[in-house]
Chains A and B, each alone.
Chain A
Amino acid sequence: MSLRGENLLTLAGVSREAILEVLDTAESFVEVNQRTIKKVPALKGRVVASLFFEESTRTRLSFETAAKRLGADVVSLAVASSSVKKGESLRDTIATIDALGLDAVVLRHKSSGAALQVSRYVPHVRVINAGDGLHQHPTQGLLDVFTVRQILAERQGVQGAETGGELFAGLRVLIVGDIRHSRVARSDIAAYTALGAEVRVAAPGTLLPSDLTGWPVTVVEDFEEALQWADVVGLLRLQNERGTGSFVPTLDEFTFTHGLTEERVALLRPSTIILHPGPMNRGVEIDSRVADLERSYMTRQVANGVPVRMAVLYLSVAGTKELA
């Protein structure tokens, strides 16, 4: 199974080979992004619609930059000034945009399952999920594992693609924070475990999903002990717009029990990598000084967003479905 010619709706159930193909392809695009002329004609003349029904800075910019650097034309819908504000349904909005002649839709929506729904409306268009409600944010999961592989490969002085997935075997990943409301956590867990990493989650009980049955993770009892255990610490944003506020007594209380403070960073082994999908609530889930440490790779994550999304668009739009 490969992403070639397929929609990217979720990372759940996506194979190790399919993920590695995206990572290896993204590595080629990293080099394209370092050139003076950062553009290749791979998707020349293709039309990619960027539909963000929820606010976003980095994901939207990252996808649109990726599409343009592949030579595609980008049609972008600013929801605030569109007919969506007049009450147009998602189905009608998609039909309208599709009439312009689309090859791909990049969709962010507050409803879980929105990307799947859109893929049924327009089966001839490739749909890339850029975040749907509490469900999935597949490209964030892919860029997180890409970033981890890149850092670990660099330390060994090799290219990530040369290592395949071997650097993930037994890698210890700790995901901390608002697991309940996080689509990033769901995509990250799928990506890390598909590649053979061991994932543990740490959160106040109220911020864990009500049912963890079937999740390939262990819940951490002792956060401090888990920090000593981890090779990678993936932080999540406290999501006030999804009502996180009512799941913790106060933000200070969260910082006290699960914030990555300077004291807690001292528990990490020297090689441990810190990730955060952004935007960060400095002083809440991460101390501001911790966010600026060399081992905090947030800017690297943002930078890798473009090549990873180029790889996703390239494989999905230009690829042909595999038989069998």
Chain B
Amino acid sequence: MTNDVPRQDRERGLAFFAKSQLLSADDVARAMKRMAHEIIERNQGVESLRVVGLQRGGVAIAERLAALLTDISSSPVEASALDVSFYRDDIGVNPLKESSSTTVHGDLASKTVVLVDDVLFTGRTIRAALQALTDWGRPAAVQLAVLVDRGHRELPIRPDFVGKNLPTSRTEQVRATLDGVWLGERSDA
């Protein structure tokens, strides 16, 4: 479980300890497939879609989603990766987040961007992502797909496609990957 904790987090002694598993890998696979169908239904195809995963947790999910969209529609969909560390509104307030790589494929101007993240919580990462996206041009529309919506929004942001709605308390931690979804706590030990 802790094997997929990013190297920088491991070195800083941050690790996630799971209390209970809420979704299995199969549950996640089914939810992902449903979301892919919903995205195609809503957009009547994939022609003008750009799938953008948010670092770090959203990238693997975006890649799976892009693969599913490719399978269903038989036309190639590529996933981009976006790191929003430098756009966050808590820079200078909270400890800096470790930054990751950004790779945006193609022009986003006049395309429909599907932002993908693992867990939707306060909505602040999505706000930062919306700001970052404008640096690649003006998208025709932006939609939001998340594997888990755990509530506690601090901004007027809502997802368009949700794998699973999960009521949580503010202090709990959620880990959502393609291998499953866990509820737990973060330890700095």
Q: A-side interface residues toward B, CB under 8 Å?
A: 4, 17, 21, 24-25, 27-28, 31-32, 35-37, 39-43, 70, 159, 161-162, 164, 314-315, 317-320
Contacts and interface: CB of A to CB of B under 8 A. Distances in A.
A4 B7 contact: no
Interface in B79-101: 83, 85-87, 91-92, 94-96, 98-101
A315 B96 contact: yes
The 7 A-B residue pairs with the shortest CB-CB distance, nearest first, are A40-B86, A28-B99, A42-B86, A37-B135, A318-B91, A31-B102, A318-B92
Contacts of B131: 41
B171 interface: no
Given A159-B101, A161-B101, A28 B83 contact: yes
A288 B26 CA distance: 63
A21 B97 CA distance: 11
Contact of B101 (A28, A36, A37, A70): A28
Contacts of B85: 28, 42
25 contacts: A4-B95, A4-B96, A21-B8, A24-B99, A25-B99, A28-B83, A28-B99, A28-B102, A31-B102, A35-B136, A36-B135, A39-B135, A40-B86, A40-B135, A41-B87, A41-B131, A42-B86, A42-B87, A42-B91, A70-B86, A162-B7, A164-B7, A315-B96, A318-B91, A320-B94
Interface size class of B (residues with CB under 8 A): 20 to 34
Given A4-B95, A4-B96, A314 B86 contact: yes
A31 B95 contact: no
A162 B56 CA distance: 14
B11 interface: yes
B95 A320 contact: yes
B103 interface: yes
A244 to B, nearest CB: 40
Contact of B96 (A35, A41, A319): A319
Given A28-B83, A28-B99, A164-B7, 20 more contacts: A4-B95, A24-B8, A25-B99, A28-B85, A28-B100, A31-B101, A32-B102, A36-B135, A36-B136, A37-B135, A40-B132, A41-B87, A42-B91, A43-B91, A70-B86, A314-B96, A319-B95, A320-B94, A320-B95, A320-B96
Nearest to B7: A164
Given A17-B11, A319-B95, A27 B101 contact: yes
Contact of B103 (A31, A39, A40, A161): A31
A42 to B, nearest CB: 4
Nearest to A69: B86
Contacts of B92: 317-318, 320
Given A17-B11, A41-B131, A159-B101, A32 B86 contact: yes
A35 B135 contact: yes
Nearest to A161: B101
Interface in B2-60: 7-8, 11
Nearest to A41: B87
Contacts of A41: 86-87, 131
Contacts of B98: 24-25
A21 B99 CA distance: 10
Contacts of B102: 28, 31-32
B96 A318 contact: yes
Contact of A40 (B8, B87, B94): B87
A315 B92 CA distance: 10
A85 to B, nearest CB: 36
B106 to A, nearest CB: 13
B180 to A, nearest CB: 25
B109 to A, nearest CB: 11
Contacts of B99: 24-25, 28
Contacts of A164: 7
Most buried by B among A35, A42, A43, A162: A42
Contacts of A32: 86, 102
A1 B7 CA distance: 17
A248 B86 CA distance: 49
Interface in B104-162: 131-132, 135-136
Nearest to A317: B92
A4 B96 CA distance: 8
B153 to A, nearest CB: 22
Contacts of B132: 40
